[in-house]
Structure formats: C-alpha cells, structure tokens
Structure 1
Amino acid sequence: MKGFILMFLVIGHLYEPFGMTHSMKYFYTASSEVPNFPEFVIVGMVDDVQMVHYDSDSQKVVPKQDWMKQTDTQYWERQTATALGSQQTFKADVDILKQRFNQSGGVHILQYMYGCTWDDETGQTGGFRQLGYDGEDFLVYDMKTFTWIAPKQQAMITQLNWNHDQSGLAFRQNYVTQTCIDWLKKYLDYGKSTLMRTVPPSVSLLQKTPSSPVTCHATGFYPSGVMVVWQKDGQDHHEDVENGQILPNDDGTFQKSAHLTVTPEEWKNNKYQCVVQVTGIKEDFIKVLTESEIQTSWGKTNRDDPAPNIVLIIGVVVALLLVIVAVVGVVIWKKKSKKGFVPASTSDTSENSGKDAQKI
C-alpha cells in the first residue's frame, strides 16, 4: 500500500498550477482485500483542493468545500447515482484483472486519474487520463491521438476494445477538451473567493544543529504553485540542495522546504540566500543566510523561541495527514475500469456513469 500512496503524493503535483494554470482532477480507486479501507473511493480536486468525496462505505457524494454547497440537491443525487454505478463496474473490473494476471486473493488496487488544465492568461488547455493496476501503468491516454496506449500485454484486449469504440473515443475527446474545461471554470467561479486568492508566504531559515542542513521553510502561501530556490552569489545553486514536497496546511494554504547542506565557513564567505516565488504574486520573498536569520534551538538566535520546533512538528503532522488523506481519499491514480465517459450535460463526472460503461 505504501507504494501507491507515495505514487499519489508525487503525481498529485504533475499538473499543479504554476503561472496561472488551473486544474481539475478526479481520482478513482477500487481495491480488493485492503484492511480498513473502502472498496471504492472517488476524490475530486480543483487546484489541488479537495472539493468532493465518495466512498463505498457511505455510498454518498459529499462536498468538501463550503463553496461546493452552491450546487442544488439534484446535482448531489446525480453524482451519487453515477458513483454507485461506477462502484459496481470498478469492482467487477478488479475481478477481471485478477484473472488476466493469474491472481487469486490478496491485496489488489485498480486506480484511475483523469482531468484537465486551463491557463486563464493564455487560454491554453490540456488534459490527462491514466489507469494503473497494482501500482504499475495499465493504460495511458494519448492526448495527441486521443486513443489508449497499452504498456502491458494484459491491457491489450482493453486497448483494442476501447480504441474501436468510436463513440467512446469521441466522447472522451470532447470531455477532456471541452466539458472538463467548462466545469473547471464553473468550479473556479463557485470558489473564486478561495481558489483565486493569493496569500504571500512566511519564510524562515531553520537549522537543528551547527552541522545540520539549513532549511528554507516557506509556509502559509496560496496557491500551491511555488518555487523555493537557494542562490549563491546571485546565481541559482542546486548542488547539495534537497527539495521537499509541497504540503497542505489545515487552513487551506501550503508549505514547502528546501534544504541546503553547507559549512558555516562556506556561507559566511559567500552570499547565500533563499528566494521564494508564489504563483500570482509578483514579489519575490528573500531570506539572506546570516547568523542572525537562522532560527535554531542551539545558538543565541531564538534560543528560547519554540516557534522553529513547532513549525517542524507541524510540518511532520501535516505530512502524516496528507498520507492519511491520500489513503482515505486518493490512493488512486491509476484506475479506470469501466469505460471512459458517459455523456451527461448535468454532471462533470458523468463520463463514468453506469449507463454506458465499458468493461475492462
């Protein structure tokens, strides 16, 4: 299970907004014999903010943001009906794949990710769709030809069937190039007070011991598009730099760290600085590496200030929470069992309604 959780954490930012690019993503997961985990989960996200959730235990699609409550009752009823149909198809697909891979019992995961991106400055759009089984690519959607590619022999039957379904191909192309974009814009309008805001980061330089790496920690920023770069004498410096993942805070903002391994002699004889750039904010946020700027628990600077330790503890807790969220809602990155998409003008997730589902 650890493998596909980490996969989501990485993939979650393959399409993260940078510049003024917005994204909508849906993650589906069907599982077999995973203890204390629903057999089927759907998570929908806009700009990396979870907006809807469904699982086979509750059997109900629910909003995860207040701004999603603007939608009417019929919307949630349709979404739930669609999710219930998908749940049955995905469950059957897991059984089909176990047969294809000559598997019997044990833990197995079928994952599916699809969505789109839109740049509100240039108007450029993009799309993506991918399935995976047990942590490996199963089918990949080619955005140039709008057809499926099978990385594995066991997927070739599905590839041939789906690529010969002309109505299905046409629908998937229309969804990823138009319908998905329209719904993304609609959701952005619903949540514009939250999703379209910009919040500057708080930047700190942290160090545990004199021999530890110096951490440039940016937190509290929004949106999630960020660059945290160490510079030496005015030039970007990548040697001995380890970049951390972008992680969410409980208030909807984000945090990211970059760790620089450097000796005190080196940074005292050269100008090292951390530069943070956040999407939508023209100003750069800079911290010059000096003794007075380093927050630590071992030196004179902030000796009695527990804030740095608290920041690090919060970072660890948030990272753990992200993993929990990934398990509970998005261990899903490669899955797509049923068909591709069932057209329904009233729902952005209708591509997976049971009405026109294709079996793997």
Structure 2
Amino acid sequence: MIKVIALLLLLQNAASGEKYYLEFDRFLYPGVPNFPEYGVMMVLDGFLAFYHDEKVNHINQDWLKQYVKEHTEEWQSDVGACLAYNFIFKDQTKNFNTQSNQSEGNEIIQQIIRCDWDEETDNTNGHVKFGNNGEDFITLDAKTETWFATNPKAEVIIETWNADKTTYEITKYIIQNGCLPLLKAFVKYEKSYLNTKVLPSVFLLQKSPSSPVTCHATGFFPDKGIMFWRKDGEEIHEGVEHGDLLPNDDGSFQMSVYLEALKIPPEDWGRYECVFQLSGVQNYVVTKLDQDSIRSNNPKKEGLLTTTSIAVIATMGCVIVIIIVALSSTAFKKRNVTHSIERSSTPSSETASL
C-alpha cells in the first residue's frame, strides 16, 4: 500500500524555488474490508515522509529518521497529538454519510490539512478540505474563516460549522502550532539531505537471448539522474527505450534503459556502454555491454559461448581426462597385483608331488 501511495505522490508537482508545503492526509475507512479504520500520511513537498495506521508505523525518508533521532521526545509528542486527533476527526465527520445517504460500512472519508511557507518572504498559508466517498465535500476559506460546501450534500453540515467556530478554531490551531513549525524544521533537515548525492548500483539484465538488454540503476539520490546507451563514446537513440523513474521504499530512486542487442554482432558488443549520470556529480557510472556480466533467467545462452563458458568446459575436460587416466592406472595396477598373487598361490608341479 505504501509503495502505491509513494508512486502517486511522486507524480504530483513538488513546490518550486523557496516555497515548501507540509500536508497531513487523514483517512477513515469504517467497515471497508482489508483497509485500516484510520490512517494518516505526512507529505513534504510531494514526497511521502510518514505513514501510520493501526498496523503500520513507517518513516519513509532518511532525513526524517535523522530528525526523529535528534528530537525523539518532540517527535513522540507530535505523533501522539496526531493520533489523538483521530477521535476529533471521527466526531467532525460523523454526519457526513447521513447527509449523503451512504449505506454504513462503505464510507471513505478524507481530510487534507496543508500549510505553505515561502522561505524568502516568510509568508504562510493554510488549506483544509474534506472528501466523502471520492467526492469533494467541504473546503475552508482561511481568509474569511468560512467553510464552503463543495457538494450540495454538505450544506447542512457547514451551516453548523459556520455558526459554531469550534471546528475552525481546532483546524487553525493545528495549522499554526503543528503544521507550520514542523514544516520549517523539516525543510532544514530535507535540505541537508538533498545536498547528499548517492550513486546507484547498476546491473545488466536480460530475460532471454532475444530480449532487449536492460541497464537497471537503483539506489540513487536525489532523483536528478539520466541514463543512456552510447556506442564508441557517442549517445545513441536507435534501438533504445527509456523506462520510468520510480521511487524505492527507502526514499532513493530507480530507473532503466533498454537496448535492442539482438541485431548487434557479438564482436561489436564491446563498443557499447550504458551510462548513468547524476546531477551535480562529475563521475559517471559506466557499464560495458558484456555477455558475461548479464544476469538472466535463462540458464542457456544461445548462439555465443562466453570466454567463461569455454574456460569451464576446457577445465572440465582436463579434469575428466585426469580422472580417466587415474582410474585406468589404478585398474592396471590392481590387475597386475592380482596376477602376481595368482601366480604365487598356484603350486608348481614339483611342490605338488611331495
């Protein structure tokens, strides 16, 4: 589930320049099979940082792990407050499905609380909205401190919320005393981590001799990496296909680039290289197209015996010859010994007559 969420968040537009945002996404799934009753995600600039439900408590970014290590008590207090809000969230939304005539047991209720910070101007903003069973339901205009129904079914609820400022005051407190201080603290740690450059591990993969050769890079950070195939030092495009940039669970990234190698003569393979380049790093990761380096699910590589294969066959042949010679020599010695015993044990005619 976390992998799916991380992939969806990666597709969002992250904040640009000196603008940052922190978002808390809360979900209620009362009665929905195979889903936790309550879940919360914390998202910084489009990347999943933390996820919690009754079964999972997962920190998804290394910079956040470092923050937690250095601010353990503060983090435990923040998480405790976040989880305690579960009861307020349930109470706030208890009438959602009464108004929408949704049958009990199939509800999916979502709340998004987001704070924005412009580091250059120090301007801040807050955004809040509720969703109900996949539909926009209620949103907040922070400037007028007014709730608006984005779905006609929510009209009765916002009348109560606008008449009684309790829901607004709770939300305002969360933004000013929870979201914004955490956002500013997290940006400091995220920046420090983003300055770290991590090169990937690169592998050559091939499903079968007729499949394209996959050059796969994984574990690099940040996501500013490019991959390409080149021949004789020049980038090529013909017969090359690029895969998608994908996130790993640890916050690093992976990508692949494919080469149609079937039409390339074996003697020309040494002219081809897979190149990975990480922004801000001068050294490239270069992997030569080499038959011996390819990892494959197919145990038999057709059409070409590799140097290693030839060496193994030659070695095995020598071993077999040595074994045959040794066995033959042993058998020969045994045969000679047997004949000697037989001759020595057979009585001569003179001895037999005595």
Could you say which TM-score interval applies, normalised by the shorter chain?
Answer: 0.5 to 0.7
1:72 to 1:150, Cα distance in 2 relative to 1, 3 A: same
2:111 alignment partner AA: Y
The equivalent of 1:245 in structure 2 is 246
| Aligned pairs for 1:167-316 within 5 A | 168=168, 175=175, 180=179, 183-189=182-188, 194=193, 196-223=195-222, 225-230=223-228, 234=235, 240-243=241-244, 245-248=246-249, 252-260=250-258, 262=260, 264-265=262-263, 276-278=276-278, 281-283=280-282, 285=284, 287=286, 290-292=289-291, 295-297=294-296, 298=298, 299=301
Deviates more, 1:140-149 or 1:36-45: 140-149
User: TM-score if structure 2 supplies the norm length?
Assistant: 0.55
2:204 alignment partner AA: L
Q: Determine which structure has greater relative contact order: mean sequence separation of CA pairs < 8 Å that are 6+ residues apart, divided by chain length.
A: 1
Long gaps (5+) in structure 1: 305-360
The equivalent of 2:32 in structure 1 is 34
Classify the secondary structure of the residue corresponding to 1:106: coil
2:37 alignment partner AA: E
- The alpha carbon displacement at 1:92 in A equals 3.6
1:148 to 1:95, Cα distance in 2 relative to 1, 3 A: closer
Provide the identity percentage: 26
Higher helix proportion, which one?
A: 2
1:253 to 1:31, Cα distance in 2 relative to 1, 3 A: closer
Root mean square deviation, CA, Å:
5.6
The equivalent of 1:318 in structure 2 is none
Classify the secondary structure of the residue corresponding to 1:264: coil
The equivalent of 2:12 in structure 1 is 14
1:153 to 1:189, Cα distance in 2 relative to 1, 3 A: same
User: TM-score if structure 1 supplies the norm length?
Assistant: 0.54
- The alpha carbon displacement at 1:131 in A equals 4.5
Q: Which structure: larger Rg? A: 2
- The alpha carbon displacement at 1:222 in A equals 2.5
Q: For residues 266 and 126 of structure 1, what CA distance do their matches in structure 2 show?
A: 58
1:65 aligns with 2:65: yes
1:264 alignment partner AA: L
- The alpha carbon displacement at 1:114 in A equals 4.5
Q: For residues 129 and 293 of structure 1, what CA distance do their matches in structure 2 show?
A: 56
- The alpha carbon displacement at 1:32 in A equals 0.7
| Aligned pairs for 1:36-185 within 5 A | 37-46=35-44, 48=47, 50=49, 54-55=52-53, 65-71=65-71, 73=73, 76-77=76-77, 79-84=79-84, 86-115=85-114, 131-135=130-134, 137-138=136-137, 152-154=151-153, 168=168, 175=175, 180=179, 183-185=182-184
1:80 alignment partner AA: G
Classify the secondary structure of the residue corresponding to 1:108: coil
Long gaps (5+) in structure 2: 310-354
Contact kept in structure 2, 1:229 and 1:237, CA below 8 Å: no
What are the superposed Cα offsets for residues 238-270 of structure 1, whole Å, 9 maximum, x if unpaired? 98544252222xxx352312353735327979x
